[in-house]
Structure 1
Amino acid sequence: MTTAPSRPSASGSRAPATGTGTYTGRFRVWRGDAGGGSLQEYQVEVNEGEVVLDVVHRLQATQAHDLAVRWNCKAGKCGSCSAEINGRPRLMCMTRMSVFAEDETVTITPMRTFPVVRDLVTDVSFNYAKAREIPSFVPPAGLAPGEYRMSQEDVGRSQEFRKCIECFLCQNTCHVVRDHEENKAAFAGPRFLMRVAELDMHPLDSAAATGLDRRATAQDDHGLGYCNITKCCTDVCPENIRITDNALIPLKERVADRKYDPLVWLGSVIRRRR
């Protein structure tokens, strides 16, 4: 008779194998509301192949019936079950229990950047307010929706950013707002600066014809200058979008060219006169 191999922990250590695929795991879950709270300890059954959200559901069903948690699809596509697991922003439905050792205590807390509603649920309305501040796509004049034409290369560039599921993990981990509450008014965050970058590189966006300069608004209205490209947003993105390399850095370069490159500035002046 053989036993199942022990599971490696996040730190690389291994716990003793049980041979059954089922064990009792130790968890610390934050319980409380806007007025305060604390970490509560629980022991919950864990089965082979489960994710953290499975365990949270079992905890609700068996011990903490009033535990508040936000979730929807359980398939990594709705972005609802964002939390911090052992201090790292992650989706609970995409974090397998097999990445932790059986004797490891797993700590689950709400996203730190946003106000707590109750337990693991946070108020993410900040993000929807920022979304409303981004001017939408401006269709080209004289073209009906079915007449749009783009090269496949241009489609591919923006398609990456369209994979965003708005889990807001990038917003949560960005230290510009995570560690500095006072920056929230002036900084849209990586998710919405990525949206500005997508529209700015869109070959059919005609915002400039209406007098809207997306590069200028990125800097002046949405706080692009606050971003210091540490790539923490890219690091936690569950869709593996290269937010920093493919959106924020190119946008910063275009803003710098427009503002500081004398040849680019001269060319823009000549085009305006024409």
Structure 2
Amino acid sequence: MSYTGHFRVWRGDAEGGELKDFEVEVNEGEVVLDVIHRLQATQAHDLAVRWNCKAGKCGSCSAEVNGRPRLMCMTRMSVFAEDETVTVTPMRAFPVLRDLVTDVSFNYAKAREIPSFVPPPGLAPGEYRMAQQDVGRSQEFRKCIECFLCQDTCHVVRDHEENKPDFAGPRFLMRIAELDMHPLDAAAETGLDRARTAQDVHGLGYCNITKCCTEVCPEQIHITDNALIPMKERTADRKYDPLVWLGDRIFRRDK
């Protein structure tokens, strides 16, 4: 079974562009990326689109479909009515390179700013031992495919370009939370307080937990509930709890 689908696709580059209308064949069981490929093959041969695995695991084909950040390879055409116009645009939070391809180098720059895992002293890698419960906590965050849809939908990044220098975004705040929860991470022994650094350096305070990042995550990671909110609570405890404040002062005095 097939029908003629109505598509509006953004065409342009860093200098500007516009939405253009196309009528493309849609077959049963197809996803948006299938139709974009058919459009590229039959009508818009120079259409730029980034993709790789077409299996929802590489995170390459991120775009906005009818205004919602999605993976095109995981967005089935069956969710749209046959007479509905499907609008495909590049991720709004990042500079456009061409057509549906954006410059996501912002995210790689933020990744380099996150201090890496600090191995426990006296243990070789093969000697690490963790309780299964602790493995499960961090395993959820390791499902991230770095599609950057959470970064795109976060209004702190999306609507306020001036925040980018001071805000890592949900994907990388989640990475800090993962390391802060890790039972073998020895960052504290080197003087690195990950939760406090998340607040003071990486902009955790900008997040107002609207959960929009969680809503668009294709891996269904509970970014807000399981990473950002717990880290905000730990940060608040360390910064504002009078007993914690007093303990920090006594500990430093003993040192």
Question: TM exceeds 0.5?
Answer: yes
More helix by share: 2
Counterpart mapping for 1:145-164 below 5 A: 145-164=125-144
1:258 aligns with 2:221: no
Q: 2:55 aligns with which of 75, 83, 92?
A: 75
Q: 1:91 aligns with which of 57, 63, 71?
A: 71
Give the 3-state SS of the residue equivalent to 1:184 in structure 2.
Answer: helix
What's 1:5 paired with?
none
What's 1:29 paired with?
9
User: Which amino acid in structure 1 is aligned with residue 208 of structure 2?
Assistant: N
Cα distance between partner residues in 2 of 1:103 and 1:267: 65
What's 2:248 paired with?
268
Instruction: Give the superposition deviation at 1:266.
Output: 2.2
User: Which amino acid in structure 2 is aligned with residue 103 of structure 1?
Assistant: D
1:244 aligns with 2:219: no
Q: Which 5+ residue runs of structure 1 have no aligned equivalent?
A: 1-20
Cα distance between partner residues in 1 of 2:234 and 2:199: 11
Q: Deviations over 1:32-87 (max 9, x none)?
A: 00000000100000000000000000001100000000000000000000000000
Counterpart mapping for 1:103-118 below 5 A: 103-118=83-98
1:63 aligns with 2:19: no
What's 2:190 paired with?
210
Q: Deviations over 1:143-186 (max 9, x none)?
A: 00000011011000000000000000000000001000000000
- TM-score normalised to structure 2 length: 0.98
Give the 3-state SS of the residue equivalent to 2:47 in structure 1.
Answer: coil
User: Which amino acid in structure 1 is aligned with residue 195 of structure 2?
Assistant: R
Instruction: Give the superposition deviation at 1:216.
Output: 1.6
Instruction: Give the superposition deviation at 1:267.
Output: 2.6
Q: CA RMSD in A?
A: 0.8
Cα distance between partner residues in 2 of 1:264 and 1:197: 20
Q: Which 5+ residue runs of structure 2 have no aligned equivalent?
A: none
1:199 aligns with 2:179: yes
User: Which amino acid in structure 1 is aligned with residue 213 of structure 2?
Assistant: C
Q: Deviations over 1:182-213 (max 9, x none)?
A: 00000000000000000011110001111111
What's 1:38 paired with?
18
Q: Deviations over 1:84-139 (max 9, x none)?
A: 00000000000000000000000000000000000000000000000000000000
The alignment of Structure 1 onto Structure 2 pairs a total of residues equal to 254
What's 1:167 paired with?
147
Cα distance between partner residues in 1 of 2:123 and 2:184: 10
Give the 3-state SS of the residue equivalent to 2:165 in structure 1.
Answer: coil
What's 1:232 paired with?
212
